[in-house]
Amino acid sequence: MTTLTFKKTVTVLVATGFAVSLVACGKQAESPKKSTVSQDTATITLDFENDKKVDETKKITIIKDQTLLDALKENFKIEEKSGFITSIDGKTQDQAANKYWLFDVNGKMAEKGAADIHLKKGDTVAFYLGSF
């Protein structure tokens, strides 16, 4: 084998190896990775008039350890002050009438604020304008 043929062979082998490594890297980047973040769903209902009739229901995707307040902000138009929800989708509480946004989690009145409650798979949260 001559020096010129040897150099061509080495060049072709190096180029082929480089091309194969690029393709392998490209395939690796394209393949979906298994997520370590668990995604589950919860259901949120809204009763704007507190007449025990659901005005809106939304099944939302939650991320592990996500707070209720963060989930609300991602799925509804929310206004809040210091963690207290003052408006949901344009429906504002009425302090003069002593009506505030209250909520139940899985049928029980919440003992914490929305910023302190972490949603879990299958949770049902019902918001309503009520008095306390």
- Domains of the chain: which residue ranges? 41-130
Angle at 16 between CA 13 and CA 22, to 5 degrees: 140
Taking the C-alpha atoms of residue 4 and residue 10, their distance in angstroms, rounded to an integer, is 10
Residue indicated by tokens 């997520």: 35
Instruction: For residues 85-110, give the mean pLDDT.
Output: 94
Short-list 75, 77, 73, 54, CA closest to 114? 73
Collect all residues with Cβ–Cβ distance below 8 Å to 111 and sequence separation of at least 6: none
Helix (H) or strand (E) run with residue 73 in it:
helix 68-75
Structural Rg of the chain based on CA atoms: 28
Short-list 86, 84, 128, 91, CA closest to 107? 128
* Mean confidence (pLDDT) of the chain: 80
Taking the C-alpha atoms of residue 104 and residue 94, their distance in angstroms, rounded to an integer, is 19
Short-list 76, 97, 98, 96, CA closest to 87? 76
Length of the chain: 132
Helix (H) or strand (E) run with residue 109 in it:
strand 108-109
pLDDT at residue number 73? 94
Domain 41-130 has CATH 3.90.650.10: no
Instruction: For residues 30-57, give the mean pLDDT.
Output: 77
Q: Residue 128: is its pLDDT beyond 90?
A: yes
Evaluate if pTM is beyond 0.75: no
pLDDT at residue number 65? 83
